[in-house]
Amino acid sequence: MNNFVAIEPKSFVEYEAAVNASGGLVKPISPDVRAMVWTNYQAPQELAEVLRVNPQLEWVQLPFAGVDAFADIISASAHSRRAVNFTSAKGCYREPVAEHALALTLALCRAIPERVQDKTWGRQFAVSLYESRVLIVGGGGITEELLELLKPFKTDVTVIRKRVAGNMSGATRTLGFEQLDAQLPLADVVILAAALTAETTGLFNEQRFNLMKNKSYLVNIARGPMVVTKDLERALEIGSIAGAAIDVTDPEPLPDGHSLWQAPNLIITPHTADTRAMVVRLFSKRISENVAAFLSNGNLVGLVDPQLGY
């Protein structure tokens, strides 16, 4: 058994160092390479072709927590004679993304979108996050980290997640997706931190914005298509919700001149919850631990469940 690991389609010195530090040896993809780190989220078809001509591959490390771009590939592999183990970066970027979610939440509560544009003293308005009701959609590593960050604010936190196996630590309650609509009218802040799947695509539409309080805020640090863009724009324009902050958009990047740029009480950050510098550092750690696992006990971190899609 060899220790060859390919890094495709583009290698980075940091990733090569992570492979070498864990007992692997970086080598271009070839018939004797059993493991591969894939570095391009935008090239799923290219990955599919690499897998087709390299049936010896046993494990592929994907670069981000969300694997929606590779859903068809993962599903096809699961139903083939020789399934490939796919691992995602879920949990890798939990700290910076949770930090960004908190920053956006506080900015909305303190009316920062309004303040940064004001050229006069302005209205006396702010909302405190302390002892507010927060609803988080998604129960992964970002949510775990965010629950820790919210503790000092003594918030009442409801987590909505796909699989409920007891209460998440730090949450007031943990419920299934079937409880989402009943919880929306109670929330002061709604934070989206779920994976993009068939179930979560378009999850926040006109119907759900109408269920939210007109004093509530939406924060999206998950995936843009979880929110119907035109419905968010409309909700902000008519005041169905008080404001929103989004680090992801649909389409993405959001084109210059798009009407969403003009929506009131909206903060848009250009998918910077985790910057390239953060990603390289944190993803290198995941590569290192998974290469070591692949070459020893096989206990890979971040295994993708083909049924769940994350």
Residues 85 and 99 occupy one common structural domain? no
Examine residue 307 and state whether it is found in any structural domain, yes or no. Answer: no
Residues 289 and 150 occupy one common structural domain? no
Examine residue 306 and state whether it is found in any structural domain, yes or no. Answer: no
- Structure confidence by residue, pLDDT tens digits, 166-205: 999 999 999 999 999 999 999 999 999 999 999 999 999 9
The model's pTM is 0.92
For residue 258, indicate whether it is catalytic: no
Domains of the chain: total: 2
Residues 13 and 116 occupy one common structural domain? no
Residue 9 sits in a domain of what CATH number?
Answer: 3.40.50.720
pLDDT of residue 79: 87
Element (H, E) at 218: strand 217-220
Instruction: Output phi, psi for 96, to 5 deg.
Output: -65, -35
Separation CA 33–CA 106 (nearest Å)? 48
Residues 113 and 256 occupy one common structural domain? yes
Residues 12 and 25 occupy one common structural domain? yes
Structural domain range at position 34: 4-91+276-294
Residues 106 and 79 occupy one common structural domain? no
CA distances from 237 to 219, 240, 251, 297 (A): 17, 8, 19, 55
Examine residue 28 and state whether it is found in any structural domain, yes or no. Answer: yes
Instruction: Output phi, psi for 15, to 5 deg.
Output: -70, -35
Residues 74 and 116 occupy one common structural domain? no
pLDDT of residue 308: 86
Catalytic, out of 161, 223, 233, 286 = 223
The residues of the chain scoring below 70 in pLDDT are none
Examine residue 284 and state whether it is found in any structural domain, yes or no. Answer: yes
Catalytic, out of 110, 133, 173, 271 = 271
For residue 252, indicate whether it is catalytic: yes
Residues 125 and 9 occupy one common structural domain? no
Separation CA 270–CA 251 (nearest Å)? 12
Catalytic, out of 148, 252, 258, 281 = 252
